[in-house]
Amino acid sequence: MKALFTILINGFLYFSVCLAQNQNGKISGRVFDQINGKTVPLVIVLLYDGDIQTMSSRTNQSGNFSFVALNPGEYSLKIQRNGYLPFSRKIRVNANFTTKIDISVKPVNSDSKPVSSPVSEQSVIVKKETELSIPDSGKLPVQLASNTKSEPLPIQQNKTIDLQTPVVDTEDFVVYPSEEITDNTEFEFFEAVEEQSMPIEGWKAVMKNVVYPQDAFKMNIQGTVYLKAWINEQGEVKILQVQKSIPMLDIAAQDAVYNTKFIPGKIAGNAVASILTIPVAFRIGK
């Protein structure tokens, strides 16, 4: 009876989440090297709503990234990675649609001729020591390690479109017509699980991956950044959403979580993609 009750509750929660999220939109894309045309893995893509950075995603080994559960409207995509020039472009999201995009980033100090923007057949549209306090076992991190180095847009009207024809095409930015969301495969992230996801090496692992931003350190900026994490069945952090921001610390907090390997959440002993809120606190020792 208990097992049946658990299945019913989880089924209801999953149906509710899918129904709610399907009123929103999604962004899916890939990042390429503008010179050699190869995909660029492990790049953090930042999503801005106006001037506020709200979410981030990291490209996988194939250069792919995605954002889910987005309110309709206009956003800005930004990429900053060592060795590449900064990238920033605006992109529109419509309810119940996936906006797909190809981005090519240019290496710094490169005089080579860029290759043509790659487009896939199926594409349619970021030392002064500090005090370190280790939390009690099982609790989320409350301290980080040391400083080691210096209005919504209208929904598109239904019409016949050529999915292979980009609507925007520059040398570093290609957006394809939005594709209607027809299934919820990539929305299957559970907020209610029987076994919560956590770092393989415990919450201390998050602290080990932190680099305290120099400017924030010098200005004595401290506090806790709260992140909502989408973690897949393999324990990889796919998306992060900033729920409580400290602007000068947000990127460092996200970097630390992206670089942490997690044990996936479980339901009935099976690994599932789950959603977890992670507080990442910065404290400067005396």
The CATH topology of domain 2-150+160-282 is: Immunoglobulin-like (2.60.40)
Name which of 90-99, 182-191, 266-275 the model is least confident about: 182-191
Alpha-carbon distance 76 to 58, whole Å? Answer: 16
Tell me the mean pLDDT in the region 199-207: 91
Which candidate, 254, 245, 230, 248, places its Cα nearest to that of 67? 230
Alpha-carbon distance 278 to 253, whole Å? Answer: 10
pLDDT in tens, 235-259: 999 999 999 999 999 999 999 999 9
Whether 242 contacts 227, CB under 8 Å? yes
Phi, psi of 32 (to 5 degrees): -120, 155
175 burial (CB, 10 Å; 0-12 / 13-18 / 19+) is: buried
**pTM above the 0.85 mark?**
no
Which candidate, 277, 222, 219, 273, places its Cα nearest to that of 246? 222
Name the one residue in this structure whose structure tokens are 């930042």. 46
pLDDT in tens, 25-66: 999 999 999 999 999 999 999 999 999 999 999 999 999 999
| Confidence class for position 115, pLDDT limits 50, 70, 90 | low
Three-state SS at 4: helix
Alpha-carbon distance 122 to 227, whole Å? Answer: 32
Which candidate, 247, 248, 253, places its Cα nearest to that of 280? 253
Q: Where are the domains of the chain?
A: 2-150+160-282
